[in-house]
Structure 1
């Protein structure tokens, strides 16, 4: 739409903040009637049935974990059991919502592999306190990661790069909300402290969406330079990179803006939804480097190496996602949403 051309990236021509709409294809009267029956009659009934089942699953999940909170002898044990339950719950919700099969791909940057070294690296999986960085285009991303790891998610302060940890369903609510420009100081922590807590209490890996907001999945926003704040560096953490895509010819699971309840309702009216996850081979992910001669064990030349890690994360995510990168940021999306809402009020 031309009235939103300010938020169309000049270099790529992509507007990453507007919801995707299916192509306008001319249909016969018979096909239109068929679509009406499938989408607005069968689809609505299908969605209502699914949502009732999902509501029951969520209720059981919350009730059981609230009871477990008082019965578990230690926080570590509670978190371990919570992870198992949340993974099952999220997997069921994805399956009921039509994500019957999740396509998993492995992307390797390096064409020449050292087989012995590669076998060791390939066996690595994210553990508590490790970092997973991914693009972000929907609350379904969050649901997927919960089904895999029940990790810690973070909101990022765009100025200080400090973060606010989120867990479980609160992370889904956050991904459906406006991006936050600045965090409340009392909630902001360094990434290192979040990773240490995750490792100590078995909270799972830490998932970071460096775009710091959702898009429509057509391009990447500018990634925040997370490791330019040296307090975010945890030398014990391994870095993993993932990209998530939703191929769709009609209703798209991507959610850049809008009403999340309405979106989830129509998402569930579709019989089948697709998700493609591409994981960068562990051997090809960026790593922190150390000075073996240093007694303190700090990273070598942090002013140089950690900036390079941010750049390497950026280039690797572009390569594995096969998405073009825009010059737009989460703050541009916040400006766009404010403009959109003000315009919407004028037309009421």
Structure 2
């Protein structure tokens, strides 16, 4: 892997685009083959039935969520370890405000097709994927989001119409919105550099405040929930495009999979606006010690500093997911993917 050293984060040494491989013993191969042979036809049948027919039928959200959970069970996802920041185990029912609700935004890590499947089975959200070089996002269906995890990074997935987070919220006030701010998948060992969409969302609030229309776009009341998803075994991530066969083999040949879900404390732009004196910019690839001091303005005139929302969400994801933040993003992944293809590397099972 020496030839890919330029795609390691300089501060941490983490290589977020190299696929994770695990050693498989010769004794395990027969069991793995049997599990794959039994699960693959069942999962294929249920998936095709859902995406071709059932999702378009008026069966209700609960029924459709149930089908997705069945898909996860067939794939071997038998346990979801859910923890909510600031809530003790067994007391979650007393804190409904700690969970995403209609009108909320989920900022999720992005490592595997299971991300979209789990979030859809749990929250029935609208999925947004940001452009890495523009402030826009693209609204995708569940199937498009799953397929996007296997696609090369692009600024315009599936030729869908670009939009903004606030536009999607205004058109769907009773739905939960999921955005993957990294814009592309990693191997789950680090949090990538965010695309501009979240910062644009905060900027729009700033502009609406200046124009006196902040309440019209509904931004102050929308909570942003950072959610970290990690998997055991960790080799079900898809940092490389086109790894359909490898992913399915790793998913269906393992006896079981666990998902660690960590929901961070909700963030509100109006609270960022009131976050008083200092905001410290952070980056793991180069240490920044300079603090940005907010302007000494009256409380009702303060607006979020540029990048404040992105930094706050990133800080929470790093904390609850127990990972490091790196200075690499979609552009670096494009370079890595081109270098990987040039070397003619083949994925290992």
TM-score, normalised to structure 2's length? 0.77
Match of 1:287 among 251, 268, 279: 268
Q: Tell me the distance in 1 between the aligned counterparts of 2:318 and 2:300.
A: 26
Q: Tell me the distance in 2 between the aligned counterparts of 1:345 and 1:322.
A: 30
Report the equivalent of 1:210.
181
Equivalent position SS for 1:242: strand
Please list, as runs of the form range in 1=range in 2, the aligned pairs for 1:227-238 lying within 5 A after superposition.
Answer: 227-229=198-200, 230-231=203-204, 234-238=219-223
Say if 1:82 and 1:119 are closer, same or farther in 2 by CA, change over 3 A: closer
Cα pair 2:149 2:185 within 8 Å, conserved: yes
Cα pair 1:179 1:334 within 8 Å, conserved: yes
Cα pair 1:219 1:324 within 8 Å, conserved: yes
What is the CA-CA distance between 1:227 and the residue it aligns to? 3.5
Report the equivalent of 1:45.
34
Equivalent position SS for 1:101: strand
Report the equivalent of 1:296.
none
Report the equivalent of 2:84.
106
Report the equivalent of 1:319.
319
Cα pair 2:134 2:196 within 8 Å, conserved: no
- Which shows bigger deviation, 160-169 or 222-231? 222-231
Say if 1:65 and 1:21 are closer, same or farther in 2 by CA, change over 3 A: closer
Q: Tell me the distance in 2 between the aligned counterparts of 1:67 and 1:11.
A: 48
Q: Tell me the distance in 1 between the aligned counterparts of 2:300 and 2:121.
A: 36
Q: Tell me the distance in 1 between the aligned counterparts of 2:40 and 2:302.
A: 49
Report the equivalent of 1:167.
141
Q: Tell me the distance in 1 between the aligned counterparts of 2:70 and 2:158.
A: 34
Q: Tell me the distance in 1 between the aligned counterparts of 2:151 and 2:168.
A: 22
Report the equivalent of 1:294.
none
Q: Tell me the distance in 2 between the aligned counterparts of 1:341 and 1:15.
A: 17
Q: Tell me the distance in 2 between the aligned counterparts of 1:239 and 1:320.
A: 15
Equivalent position SS for 2:129: strand
Say if 1:47 and 1:119 are closer, same or farther in 2 by CA, change over 3 A: closer
Cα pair 1:129 1:197 within 8 Å, conserved: no
Equivalent position SS for 1:333: helix
Runs of 4+ deviating beyond 4 Å = 118-122, 182-186, 299-303
Cα pair 1:210 1:224 within 8 Å, conserved: yes
Say if 1:67 and 1:183 are closer, same or farther in 2 by CA, change over 3 A: closer
Q: Tell me the distance in 1 between the aligned counterparts of 2:85 and 2:220.
A: 24
Equivalent position SS for 2:236: coil
Aligned-residue Cα RMSD (Å) equals 3.1
Q: Tell me the distance in 2 between the aligned counterparts of 1:177 and 1:4.
A: 20
Q: Tell me the distance in 1 between the aligned counterparts of 2:105 and 2:3.
A: 39
Q: Mind listing any 5+ residue stretches in structure 1 that lack a counterpart? A: 24-31, 69-77, 112-117, 292-298
Q: Mind listing any 5+ residue stretches in structure 2 that lack a counterpart? A: 206-216, 274-298
Q: Pick the structure with more strand per residue.
A: 2
Report the equivalent of 1:190.
164
Report the equivalent of 1:271.
255
What is the CA-CA distance between 1:217 and the residue it aligns to? 0.9
Say if 1:302 and 1:247 are closer, same or farther in 2 by CA, change over 3 A: farther
What is the CA-CA distance between 1:38 and the residue it aligns to? 2.4
- Which shows bigger deviation, 44-53 or 222-231? 222-231
Q: Which deviations, in whole Å up to 9, do the C-alpha atoms of 1:265-294 show, x marking residues without a partner?
A: 2320111112111112xxx32112189xxx
Please list, as runs of the form range in 1=range in 2, the aligned pairs for 1:11-90 lying within 5 A after superposition.
Answer: 11-22=11-22, 35-39=25-29, 41-65=30-54, 68=57, 78=58, 81=59, 83-90=61-68
Alignment length (residue pairs) = 303
What is the CA-CA distance between 1:14 and the residue it aligns to? 0.8
Q: Which deviations, in whole Å up to 9, do the C-alpha atoms of 1:155-211 show, x marking residues without a partner?
A: 211222211101221110012211213568861001111122222xx5x31111111
What is the CA-CA distance between 1:150 and the residue it aligns to? 2.1
Cα pair 1:211 1:330 within 8 Å, conserved: yes
What is the CA-CA distance between 1:67 and the residue it aligns to? 5.9
